[in-house]
Homo-oligomer: A and B are copies of this chain.
């Protein structure tokens, strides 16, 4: 059965979007469609141009005998800015204020459109980095962690506050929460990370950074390294930040419980991105 170009373009688009950061040999498509490699090559040229022109992502060509194409997610500055502006106005809604100055975020973290978009933007910052896994701590950061990991095509490992029997044997550490100065525990299943892994830490909210610091300590126990740290929101009201090198989409500068006012601004995404340090 032969395939027309139009059918190939549609099916290849679906396949590439579904297999990010995987090297797909030209022969895979040639065999699948019963087409000459030269036709597949032309198809991929059209897809590459359209993906770039429409801000969908980048199609990297790897030449040679073991060559093929690899799709990386990539967002335009316009797309990132649009999302960050949207997030700022969502966060500024005073209905989010909870007793104690906490913010209600469940609706944001549960909305598949927002989570997908956040995942795309964060993943695009690390699309070319070597990353073997995404790590987060239960529960709130999990949706973003999966959205990022889906685009990077790597597994998610979830750190817990409490050990459960279904985790098997675990490694546990104590850490000091940066804002409350309390000693807390986190555990991670022994099987979840292999030695030498490069791990991207993702979380929804960073105050002083104690929890993220705990995850960094935990990674050392696994002889794994931190490939990056990305958070949806960082809080600015901090005397001493425990974590330096991170990416944030939104910055919470002030929460005034009395006047019911939440002040938010852009996080450091564009600063970090333009420095090219991720």
Question: Which residues on A are within 8 Å of B, measured CB to CB?
Answer: 5-7, 9-11, 13-14, 17-18, 46-47, 49-51, 53-54, 56, 98-100, 102-107, 110-113, 115-116, 138-140, 142-143, 146-147, 149-150, 153-158, 160, 165-168, 189, 191-192
Contacts and interface: CB of A to CB of B under 8 A. Distances in A.
Q: How many copies does the complex hold?
A: 2
B112 A146 contact: yes
A139 B158 contact: yes
A142 B137 CA distance: 13
A143 B140 contact: no
Q: Please report whether the interface of chain A is mostly helix, strand, loop or mixed according to DSSP.
A: helix
A110 B9 contact: no
Given A106-B167, A166-B103, A7 B46 contact: yes
B17 A168 contact: no
Contacts of A110: 155-158, 192
B18 A155 contact: no
A143 B147 CA distance: 10
